[in-house]
Structure 1
């Protein structure tokens, strides 16, 4: 009896091989796709974020095209042809920067990021899902804004559409990096205030809606070096002139590299 009891005590308490029928983790691509769908739904179902990402850009487009309370030097182009690329650029900024910074900051404060990082999704999968979710929302934005602009008589240079898509990707990379840097270093309430303030300042004096050369005084030189000015110039160059300004590409790549490096070094998951 004693010997038998000793053998039972020495027996392993957990199996050395996986239990048959135990569900395995889904493939990495499926985990990322599920997180992407979740991130997209969270943005589009949130009334405040939907207002910022879709409704406000459309209202801004309508007001700038149908009214003349803002004087614009369109360089011979129609108002809708001149304004629409800037509105598209602003829409990218609102989703890739403001919405993503605020959502990530509150997820971090509430412990969601720390919890998700320990799941099979992992940190890399979580970040990939967030970036792809931003791109999915941007697709919705582009479709809606394009439909409204076409109804207003927009006639873009179709040869510049591929360049415009490249500009959107570059702008998304730069502003998502900025969003991660803010969300990973500041308190959630601070991110909420800073992100909205920065978006307003860049929209007014950052060269996104009005070209840098039309801004007053020293803002002309500053806006040229800002990611907002580079994105606005890239979108106008692609959709109005049919070409992507090389300087804008360099500026966006430079900001992406600098902000991405800063986010990777300073981002705190909890």
Structure 2
């Protein structure tokens, strides 16, 4: 199968405008995400899906300068933007990753891809329930289902968040790679607020260029040794995400998704 890693990116952000163009070491945060995506096992294409507005030209230029293919589409209808990007690169399967994940782990992404194949699933992810550190989320599915979602999804939330139609379809076979939990889901490795940028810059200051390839396990070990680093953005936890994680860890009934270790 032709697997495209499609990374959605935009300049606009109410909390931290232009966040993905900030430097992490010698490269932008966007380049760090794309470089990690290029190391995902089985990836045939890495494509950056960017709004077709003048305000996002700088993001498109940055992705192109980093050596990656750019597809441009609707600013608000992100589902249609994804479907267009998949068509542009001739993808048979799509892995969705967002550009606010500068330490996305290629090995974990590869395990999610394997989960889809081994279980003959229609959709696989690693955040249903969200028991990995926040910032490692990925999901993979056949492009034909992405195009079906693009035709059939109607609500604003389905169009903006890309995969709700896939995640909630009762007749699709879903699978989830189980995260470690046990408190590691409280680690915040996503770029959304100034405190998050400060956290990532502190990680690069601590590790140097090794931060560009540090694994999730190695970064978690560093965070456990250095609570001062974790404290930088600890006030920005996503309460709803943590509540979902806690409910999943304490639930006696099976989770709706098939969860694999």
TM-score by length of 1: 0.27
The structure with more radius of gyration? 1
Structure with the largest fraction of helix: 1
TM-score by length of 2: 0.28
Structure with the largest fraction of strand: 2
Which structure exhibits the higher relative contact order, with contacts defined as CA atoms closer than 8 Å and separated by 6 or more residues? 1
